[in-house]
A and B are shown apart, each in its own frame.
Chain A
């Protein structure tokens, strides 16, 4: 029987500790309709019947040691294909306990689940023996390690269960996660990339954007999704979406035109800067794009005029209409713009001379 909690971020299966994070659809194991690929004897990739990758899980049978004693830890961890933590479960009858042997309460499991979903905790830099405040001389003494929880981490551990929290967090963000990311990166295709980019989870989208590769064959849905991310209100997504634009799209005139129009509408400076870089690195610009850019030149800010002229220069844009517009800039009230126009025209004239 499933018992949903108020937060909707976890559920408790009677007699079985099982927590997962919000929006982790399709999480539960469905032995009938799934295929599994195993890596070693404990890490599995779950695929649906059509062979589409769903998630990874791994069972750990280990121990949490402190005060010269170890307690067994039997836990299964789940990740998305991008290595994002999804949840944990324990075999029937197993539970987590604290220093005083009290079992975790439901509240503590929820808290643990939240801690595990945070990849940015300082645990990465902290060694096992540094968890507790200890005088330096006793650093290596096992007897001394159950002292007060270090100030630095007290907000990120379950009270009286610092080692357990730390241990599980390290399992979540350890070698298996690295392997999962590596594996997915190597097997990235249009379909799982699109899934990631369309995820409800920002982290998945970012992962997808950071792993886009020029070697993939790209599709129209992917192109449209990328454009919508470029136009997103979230500056970080939009910046990374521009950054991720694959080479193939830079040869697509329609794509570049929309990219240029996005440039005019976007206010985030970092994204705009990246768009300029992409436009410069495109193999060529369409007449349509050049004509649209020409129309905007008198409306845009001085620093944008400078960027546009640099784009023209990179692509050796010298059609008479563009040269005409740049000549008009020579009458601009801002002497800086006049200088930019003058420099541009003088390079243009030099190039004419060189071509003769």
Chain B
């Protein structure tokens, strides 16, 4: 570069720098072309729909088998009820002094416990109240760790998306998924429905069922600005006591002992259903309206004048919607008698726990040393091919479902479904036809605990 040229060039840089020093927006704006929805096509081995309690574990496990895995989640983070729903105390991993559910779900819980500076309680003693063996997790940490593990396992996460069509074509699932400004066609060898609502099962044309009356959902929140111990309860109507008392119990940093429970405030939302955007919108609105109403009422009570909401979950958590009609229906009798099948892949432990219209809870406890189990057939819709479900929408009668739906059980199902899907690909047969022994062996290799 000659001297003169160089000087001119430097000058031009100088001029540019001056412009760059002005507020960016003045010179940065450009007109853009109207946005056209970005369309794409991708192929995957295992497609998991729903990155909630079960789906997160299913996706991590699928990725760890080396299968190319895609996860579609309509929300913005992983964990579902465990995180977004505020039910941040997964249970139950231990029964009668022993660990009964391990694997990836437990690994995730452990990492969350550790990163929160907590220490596990002693699970060798059976507590008087079953819920004391639930493990409180920090939901923010849980969501981040879940995502990190998915990414480490090579899972392609697609947030803000939801399938609009699901077709089985030439031995493959073709799933069209739409999200913010994107439309994707995904071809998958195996499909796992972890939406909690069996929506994908139903879209695929398989039968799903639902009770006339379902359990209420809950919108979870916490309140501050008052001191429960200073309240004169005799001056406050009974119906408010629960709301006021529950919110005074705080999530403790656990050291040891059976103090892992995190009581939480919630308002019931009757008929809450998260299956579609429309039904979930209604459930959210109803939850928020009754919480507003409650807060207004509480502020009228003596000693509660300064009550305020300190946190509220972004959506109503849902207990019960649709279940699949599967190759095997787990009955309440199976559950409470601790029945183990040849193809039982995971344990489940919780009392039968049915919330009735938000007014009372029907509970039935398992007798000592009994633990229920989940057969692979309960995760396979009738007449389906290369299709599995995991999570609360598994095939079960209503009372069995009220216990099976808990998080550790959902995590166990997620891991089992992913292993079954990967073996199906490897063996070239549909999940219903694979040997349970093969699935069990593989699950054990990945740290899961197998019923025997």
A269-B447 contact, Cβ under 8 Å, with A136-B234, A236-B122, A334-B65: yes
Q: Does A335 lie at the interface of the complex (its beta carbon under 8 Å from any beta carbon of B)?
A: yes
- From B66, B102, B104, B122, A335 is in contact (CB under 8 Å) with B66
> Bound state CA distance, A120 and B447, in angstroms?
32
Do B66 and A337 have beta carbons less than 8 Å apart? yes
Task: Flag if B123 contacts A303 (CB, 8 Å).
Answer: no
Contact A239 B446 (CB under 8 A): no
Knowing A206-B122, A210-B255, A336-B66 are in contact, say whether A273-B107 is a contact too (CB < 8 A). Answer: yes
Taking residues whose C-beta sits less than 8 angstroms from the other chain, chain B's interface range is 20 to 34
Minimum Cβ distance to chain A for residue B163 (Å): 25
Task: From known contacts A239-B120, A243-B119, A336-B153, infer whether A270 and B110 are also in contact, taking CB-CB under 8 Å.
Answer: yes
Number of interface residues of A (CB under 8 A): 31
Q: A136-B234, A206-B256, A336-B66 are in contact. List 16 more A-B contacts (CB 8 A).
A: A206-B122, A210-B256, A235-B99, A235-B124, A236-B120, A240-B256, A269-B106, A269-B110, A269-B447, A273-B107, A301-B446, A303-B104, A335-B66, A336-B65, A336-B153, A340-B152
List B contacts of A340 (CB < 8 A): 152
Structural contact, A273 and B64, CB atoms closer than 8 A = no
Residue pair A303, B107 in contact (C-beta under 8 Å): yes
Whether a CB of chain B sits under 8 angstroms from the CB of A277 is yes
Alpha-carbon separation in the docked complex, A120 to B126 (Å): 11
Q: Is the interface of A mostly helix, strand, loop or mixed?
A: helix
**A136 B233 Cβ-Cβ under 8 A:** yes
Docked pose: A17 CA to B102 CA in angstroms? 49
Chain A contacts for B110, CB-based, 8 A: 269-270, 273
Please, how many angstroms separate the alpha-carbon atoms of A186 and B1 in the complex? 76
Contact with B along A270-304 (1 / 0, CB 8 A): 10011001000000000000000000000001110
What sequence of 0s and 1s flags, for each residue 113-155 of chain B, a beta carbon within 8 Å of any chain A beta carbon? Answer: 0100001101111001000000000000000000000001110
Set of chain A residues within 8 Å of B255, measured between Cβ atoms:
210
Instruction: Tell me if A234 counts as interface (CB < 8 A to partner B).
Output: yes
Give the residue name and chain of the B residue nearest to A122 (CB).
Answer: B128
Residue of A nearest to B45 (CB): A335
Task: Write the chain A residue with the least CB distance to B60.
Answer: A303
Cβ–Cβ contact B154 & A339, under 8 A: yes
Report the minimum CB–CB distance from B404 to chain A (whole Å). Answer: 23
Contact status B124-A302, CB under 8 Å:
no
Is B43 close to A, CB under 8 A? no
- Kindly state whether residue A333 has any CB partner on chain B within 8 Å: yes
- Judge whether B161 is part of the interface by a CB distance below 8 angstroms: no
Q: Which residues of B contact A239 (CB under 8 A)?
A: 120
Q: Mark A241-277, 1 if CB is under 8 A from B, else 0.
A: 0010000000000000000000000001110011001
Contact yes or no, A277 B114, CB < 8 A: yes
Contact B102 A336 (CB under 8 A): no
9 smallest A-B Cβ distances: which pairs? A335-B66, A334-B66, A336-B66, A273-B110, A336-B64, A236-B122, A339-B154, A269-B102, A302-B64
Residue contact A302 to B446, C-beta cutoff 8 Å? yes
- A154 CB to nearest chain B CB (Å): 13
Bound form: Cα–Cα A334–B67 in Å = 8
Indicate the member of A137, A240, A243, A336 with the most B CB atoms within 10 Å. Answer: A336
Give the complex CA separation of A302 and B445 in angstroms: 8
Closest chain B CB from A71 CB (angstroms) = 29
6 contacts between A and B (CB under 8 A): A136-B234, A239-B120, A269-B107, A269-B110, A273-B107, A301-B447
- Asked whether B63 is an interface residue with its Cβ less than 8 Å from the other chain, the reply is yes
Point out the residues of chain B lying under 8 angstroms from A269, CB to CB: 99, 102, 106-107, 110, 447
> Within the assembled complex, what's the spacing in Å between the Cα atoms of A78 and B153?
55
Q: What is the distance, in angstroms, from B401's C-beta to the closest C-beta of chain A?
A: 28
> Nearest chain-B residue to A210 (Cβ)?
B256
Q: Tell whether B320 is near chain A: CB-to-CB under 8 Å.
A: no
Closest to A239 in B: B120
**Contact partners of A306 in chain B: CB under 8 A:** 152
Once the chains are docked, how many angstroms separate the CA of A234 from the CA of B119? 16
Q: How far is the CB of A132 from chain B (nearest CB, A)?
A: 17
| A137/B153 in contact, CB under 8 A | no
A interface residues, Cβ below 8 angstroms from B: 120, 122, 136-137, 139, 206, 210, 234-236, 239-240, 243, 268-270, 273-274, 277, 301-303, 306, 333-340
B152 neighbours in A (Cβ, 8 Å): 306, 340
Contact call B257/A303, Cβ cutoff below 8 A: no
Question: B104 — nearest CB in chain A belongs to which residue?
Answer: A303
CB distance from A27 to the nearest CB of B (A): 25
A139 closest partner in B (C-beta): B234
B325 interfacial contact with A, CB 8 Å? no
B234 touches A303 (CB 8 A): no
Which residues of chain B have C-beta atoms less than 8 A from A268's C-beta?
99
CA distance A333 to B68 in the complex (A): 13
Whether the Cβ atoms of B122 and A333 lie closer than 8 Å is no
Chain A CB within 8 A of B111 CB: yes
Pick the contact of A270 from B120, B238, B445, B446 — CB < 8 Å?
B120
> A236 contacts which chain B residues (CB < 8 A)?
120, 122-124
B315 interface residue per 8 A CB criterion: no
- Residues of A near B68 (CB, < 8 A) are 335
| B73 in the interface (beta carbon within 8 A) | no
Contacts of A338 in B (CB 8 A): 66
Quick one: given A269-B107, A301-B445, A336-B65, are A234 and B114 in contact (CB under 8 Å)?
A: no
Cβ–Cβ < 8 Å partners of B258 in chain A = 120
Give the complex CA separation of A210 and B66 in angstroms.
40
Q: Is the CB of B446 within 8 A of A336?
A: no
Chain A residues with Cβ below 8 Å from B102 are: 269
Chain A nearest CB: distance from B380 CB in Å? Answer: 25
Residues of A within 8 A of B107 (CB): 269, 273, 303
Given A269-B106, A303-B446, verify A333-B123 contact (CB < 8 Å).
no
Q: Is the CB of A336 within 8 A of B99?
A: no
Closest to A304 in B: B447
Most central of A122, A333, A335, A338 by chain B CB within 10 Å: A335
Per-position contact with A for B438-452: 1 when CB-CB < 8 Å, else 0? 000000011100000
